[in-house]
Structure 1
Amino acid sequence: MNKAELVEHIASSADLSKAAAARALEATIQAISTTLKKGGTVSLVGFGSFSVAKRAARTGRNPRTGAAIKIKAAKIPKFRPGKALKDAIK
Structure 2
Amino acid sequence: MNRVILIKSVSEKTQIPQAKVEACLNAILESVNEALNKGDKVTLNRFGTFYVKDYPERKVMMPKTKELTLIKAKSVAKFKPTTGFIKQKK
TM-score, normalized by length of structure 2? 0.85
Q: Secondary structure at the match of 2:80?
A: strand
Question: How far apart, CA to CA, are the structure 1 residues paired with 2:22 and 2:66?
Answer: 45
- Is it true that 1:83 corresponds to 2:83 in the alignment? yes
Residues 1:25 and 1:66: Cα distance change in structure 2 (over 3 Å)? farther
Other-structure match for 2:59: 59
Deviation at 1:67, TM superposition (A): 3.9
- Which of the pair is proportionally richer in helix? 1
Give the RMSD, CA atoms, in angstroms.
1.7
Whose radius of gyration is greater, 1 or 2? 2
Q: Secondary structure at the match of 2:46?
A: coil
Other-structure match for 1:68: 68
* Identical amino acids, percent of aligned pairs: 27
Question: How far apart, CA to CA, are the structure 1 residues paired with 2:59 and 2:42?
Answer: 31
- Is it true that 1:43 corresponds to 2:53 in the alignment? no
Residues 1:62 and 1:4: Cα distance change in structure 2 (over 3 Å)? farther
Runs (5+) with no aligned partner, structure 2: none
Question: How far apart, CA to CA, are the structure 1 residues paired with 2:64 and 2:20?
Answer: 48
Question: How far apart, CA to CA, are the structure 2 residues paired with 1:46 and 1:34?
Answer: 22
Other-structure match for 1:23: 23
Residues 1:65 and 1:83: Cα distance change in structure 2 (over 3 Å)? same
Query: How many residues were matched structurally?
Result: 88
Other-structure match for 2:3: 3
Counterpart residue type for residue 9 of structure 1:
S
